[in-house]
Amino acid sequence: MTEGIQNKQIPNGGPDILVLGGGPAGSTVAIGLQRLGYQVSLLHSPRLWSTCEGISSRTLEGLRSAGLHRALDTVPPPTPRHVNWNGDTGSANTEHLVQREKFDAALLEDLSAAGVTLQAGLSRSISRSPEGHTSVEFETTQGTKHVLHCHFLVDARGRAASGTGPEQLRGPGTVSLLRIMRQAPVERGSQVHSFRNGWAWLANTADGLTFLQLTVDAASAKLPKRAELNRWFEQQLRQLSLPEVEQLNNGTLQNVVARGSTSILQGGLVSNNLLRVGDAAMAVDPLSGNGIFQSLSSALVAPAVINTLLQKPEDTALAKEFYQQRVRHTFLRFARTGRDFYRMESRWPESPFWRERQDWPDTEPSHPERAHTFIAVEHRPVLANGQIISRPVVITSDQPLGVWHVAGIELSVLLHELPPNEYQRKQLLVARVENACAGDPVKKDMLMAWLAHYQIA
Ligand SMILES: Cc1cc2nc3c(=O)[nH]c(=O)nc-3n(C[C@H](O)[C@H](O)[C@H](O)COP(=O)(O)OP(=O)(O)OC[C@H]3O[C@@H](n4cnc5c(N)ncnc54)[C@H](O)[C@@H]3O)c2cc1C
């Protein structure tokens, strides 16, 4: 142990788990593990700048199921999102403009209320003993150093988590630059604008602030040194015809802050004593406006994966397969959807920003044009009662990881040993659906619609 470092033990009893990072992912995993009966500690260090992010209404559902009620209370009602892309304008969507400072502070309150032991500090180094125990050295805001020990470590430090080198899958290098301004009297809501060097996001929040974010290509943007960033930012703004920005420049509250926003899928997502979650596992393009939703989606399943690793070592391979496949599949699906959106902008084919993003990650279609079909029933890992188990699931052309239930009914039971004759197959399926739904017409309609969609009945 380093001189001057005090030893801090996580309370004994049961397998001890330490979560690094108190963003939405770390908070969700910590509360999920606490609900499963583990004693959890979480090391947190607030981000050093203010920011605002847009989330969809379905993200609110994720926050609710994670038990993040105080954080939910900081989320304002939805406001319109206007999009100006490829010269076309539209405003079909809405988003909730979340102020991360307030939201992140409320996450800590949720953690405290759930009984998670909180420790303020910044992790500095991680080491592992030959017996598999992990020690994390951290530094408090007063500059004192301490060590925490644990049996299992969850890395939820977001994009600040260490990279995994050649195992990573990285999109084109991207940087987002943010300026915060006092608001002119403008409509509440957000706007997305494409321009030659990238895209801009402008959010006018209910507390009278405007957040203006420019996302550009890291290599070709030739970003200057920090002292020159404000001037560079203003030069970029001249390419955008945003009249309100002219009025806003005088009300600047925070100097331009630069954040890496490259899409990254990390390697080494899960081992016997470590799991990466949220942005520390996969960080998606901010254009999707889905980062928080995605961080919740990996964090909501992570407690069951960790529980399986700790309680049923014989199912270790199954739990790892479940987590790795799920994160990778989601990342690629998002990357392809993002690529298709970039392809919709055709005005600057020579610009490195647009050229590189229109070809990454590959040429696979994000949504196959042919009708979706049933492929097979196969055993795959699924989540049940806080564990990962193996069950027969239905593989379809668009759901390669399989579908276990629809309307609460196990699909493989319905599709078991169907006759090849089409008429007999349909008769048998209708009878099985009737029986499984026990007279519930809503369930029956959902199941029949699903079977028809995949051309099974
Ligand atoms: C430019 C940009 C714009 C974005 N816009 C949106 C948007 O509009 N909508 C949306 O849904 N998502 C958006 N995102 C994505 C969103 O911010 C993340 O996906 C989400 O916050 C990930 O949650 P997380 O818990 O994994 O990580 P984070 O929220 O990043 O939380 C990680 C936490 O760990 C802490 N930490 C870091 N290092 C240490 C350490 N060494 N020790 C202790 N603590 C540490 C951090 O301070 C932070 O509190 C955007 C991302 C970027 C980069």
Q: Which of 230, 260, 290 is the last residue of a domain?
A: 260
> Would you say the C-alpha torsion 379, 381, 382, 387 has a positive or negative sign?
positive
What rounded mean pLDDT belongs to the chain?
92
The answer to whether residues 72 and 158 belong to one domain is: yes
pLDDT of residue 14 exceeding 80: no
Over residues 323-370, the pLDDT tens digits come to 999 999 999 999 999 999 999 999 999 999 999 999 999 999 988 777
Question: Which range has the worst mean pLDDT, 176-180, 206-210, 374-378?
Answer: 206-210
Q: Quick check: is 363 in a domain?
A: no
CATH number at residue 304: 3.50.50.60
Ligand 1 mean position to 345 CA, how many Å? 28
The preferred substitution site among 139, 157, 205 for testing ligand 1, maximizing ligand atoms within 8 Å of CB, is: 157
Over residues 225-260, the pLDDT tens digits come to 988 998 999 889 888 877 666 666 666 777 899 999
With a 6 Å cutoff on the Cβ, whether 123 touches ligand 1 is yes
Over residues 357-370, the pLDDT tens digits come to 999 999 999 887 77
Domains identified in the chain, total number: 3
pLDDT of residue 267 exceeding 60: yes
With a 6 Å cutoff on the Cβ, whether 155 touches ligand 1 is no
Q: How far apart are CA 117 and CA 123, in angstroms?
A: 16
With a 6 Å cutoff on the Cβ, whether 338 touches ligand 1 is no
The H or E element containing residue 257 is strand 252-260
The answer to whether residues 298 and 406 belong to one domain is: no
Q: Quick check: is 84 in a domain?
A: no
CA-based angle 98:104:105, to the nearest 5?
120
The answer to whether residues 65 and 130 belong to one domain is: yes
Neighbour tally for 330: CB within 10 Å: 19
Residue nearest to atom 27 of ligand 1 (CA): 158
With a 6 Å cutoff on the Cβ, whether 261 touches ligand 1 is yes
Ligand 1 mean position to 279 CA, how many Å? 7
Mean pLDDT across 168-193: 90
Q: Which of 217, 242, 260 is the last residue of a domain?
A: 260
SS3 329: helix
The preferred substitution site among 42, 43, 47 for testing ligand 1, maximizing ligand atoms within 8 Å of CB, is: 47
Model confidence at 12, pLDDT cuts 50, 70, 90, reads very low
Q: Quick check: is 349 in a domain?
A: no
CATH number at residue 236: 3.30.9.100
The answer to whether residues 32 and 121 belong to one domain is: yes
With a 6 Å cutoff on the Cβ, whether 20 touches ligand 1 is yes
Model confidence at 6, pLDDT cuts 50, 70, 90, reads very low
Q: What does the pLDDT read at residue 91?
A: 85
With a 6 Å cutoff on the Cβ, whether 67 touches ligand 1 is no
With a 6 Å cutoff on the Cβ, whether 56 touches ligand 1 is no
The answer to whether residues 268 and 412 belong to one domain is: no
Ligand 1 mean position to 122 CA, how many Å? 15
The answer to whether residues 306 and 386 belong to one domain is: no
The answer to whether residues 189 and 142 belong to one domain is: no
Ligand 1 mean position to 314 CA, how many Å? 34
CA-based angle 97:103:108, to the nearest 5?
165
The preferred substitution site among 45, 211, 276 for testing ligand 1, maximizing ligand atoms within 8 Å of CB, is: 45
Give Cα separations from 345 to 88, 195, 197, 353, 368 (angstroms).
10, 9, 12, 11, 21
pLDDT of residue 111 exceeding 80: yes
Q: Quick check: is 350 in a domain?
A: no
With a 6 Å cutoff on the Cβ, whether 285 touches ligand 1 is no
Q: Quick check: is 92 in a domain?
A: no
DSSP class of 173: -
The answer to whether residues 103 and 164 belong to one domain is: yes
Give the range of the structural domain holding residue 389, as residue numbers without chain letter. Answer: 374-453
The answer to whether residues 152 and 60 belong to one domain is: yes
Q: Quick check: is 346 in a domain?
A: no
The answer to whether residues 247 and 282 belong to one domain is: no
Q: What does the pLDDT read at residue 185?
A: 63
Q: How far apart are CA 320 and CA 331, in angstroms?
A: 17
Residue nearest to atom 1 of ligand 1 (CA): 176
Q: What does the pLDDT read at residue 133?
A: 86
Q: Which of 229, 260, 291 is the last residue of a domain?
A: 260
Q: What does the pLDDT read at residue 315?
A: 98
Ligand 1 mean position to 186 CA, how many Å? 28
The answer to whether residues 107 and 212 belong to one domain is: no
Q: Quick check: is 352 in a domain?
A: no
Query: Under a CB-based contact definition with an 8 Å cutoff, are residues 296 and 63 in contact?
Result: yes
Ligand 1 mean position to 456 CA, how many Å? 42
79-85 and 189-195 as β-strands: parallel, antiparallel, unpaired?
parallel
The answer to whether residues 125 and 181 belong to one domain is: no
With a 6 Å cutoff on the Cβ, whether 259 touches ligand 1 is yes
Q: Quick check: is 188 in a domain?
A: yes
